[in-house]
Structure 1
Amino acid sequence: MGVYTFICKSSGGEWNAKQYSGDLEGSAASTFDLQRQLVNVALRSEGSGPVSSSFSYVSPSSAVFQVIIGGGGGGGGFIGGGAAAASATGGAAAAPADAPVEEKKEEKEESDEDMGFSLFD
């Protein structure tokens, strides 16, 4: 499985991307074209396999793009699933049965009368 993280920046109408820890890079006129190009660059470097990607803006002129190639098929997801989710549910199931249960104090919801006006007046 290959994970490729790119730092993307816009300058003068052109988007440029450099790999966070590596030598891969690309540039294009739009973020869509840049993403397609970076997926192809990562595929040439890694080989073949299932591809997932995510593009997240940090600011209007910068973003982070991640390409993941390979990985297991089915189950868990690639982030926050798998063993982490299994250990979280397993830890809850392993809690002793006689442990005291903490009661949460329920907060009273404010009604529209509490605010000094009513929607139906």
Structure 2
Amino acid sequence: MGVFTFICRSSGGKWTANQYSGDLEGSADSTYDLQRTLVQNVLSVDCSGGVQSSFSYVTPTSAVFQVIIGGSSGGGFIGGGGAAAAPAGGDAPAAAEAPAEKKEEVKEESDDDDLGFSLFD
């Protein structure tokens, strides 16, 4: 799995991006075109799996763009019983135990006759 992080800046109506730790870079007239260009640049280096990307503005003229190659694909639900699944990787801290479920108060349903009319009459 490869993670590629880019620092993006806008100047004079043009967006440029440089890889945070590496030599990849790109430029385009819009953030959309910049993202497409950067993904293609990353795929030319590492095409070992699915592609996920994330673009986040820091200021109106700067952003961070991240491309992840490989790893798990899809947004499938993992787990059950109220506990969240830990992220993949050996560095993840042990998951905290799920808090005890709160006992819900059971409220008696009122009879339709209590209101003086019935919904089904």
Q: Same fold (TM over 0.5)?
A: yes
Partner of 2:97: helix, strand, or coil?
Answer: helix
CA distance in 2, matches of 1:51, 1:18: 19
- Residue in structure 1 matching 2:97, options 92, 102, 109: 92
CA distance in 1, matches of 2:21, 2:77: 27
Residues 1-121 of structure 1: matches in 2 within 5 Å?
1-73=1-73, 81-82=86-87, 84=92, 87-88=94-95, 91-92=96-97
Contact 1:53/1:67 (8 A) holds in 2: yes
- TM-score under structure 2 length normalisation: 0.65
Distance 1:76 1:67, change over 3 A: farther
1:47-93 per-position Cα deviation (integer Å, ceiling 9, x unaligned): 2420000000000000000000001345579xx843548x31xx426
CA distance in 2, matches of 1:22, 1:33: 21
Q: Which has the higher helix share?
A: 1
CA distance in 1, matches of 2:8, 2:77: 28
Partner of 2:21: helix, strand, or coil?
Answer: coil
Q: Structure 2: any 5+ residue segments left out of the alignment?
A: 79-84, 99-121
Partner of 2:35: helix, strand, or coil?
Answer: helix
Runs of 4+ in 1 over 2 A off after TM superposition: 72-77, 80-85
Distance 1:76 1:24, change over 3 A: farther
Contact 1:76/1:82 (8 A) holds in 2: no
CA distance in 2, matches of 1:76, 1:54: 20
What is the aligned length? 90
- TM-score under structure 1 length normalisation: 0.65
2:114 aligned residue: none
CA distance in 1, matches of 2:9, 2:28: 11
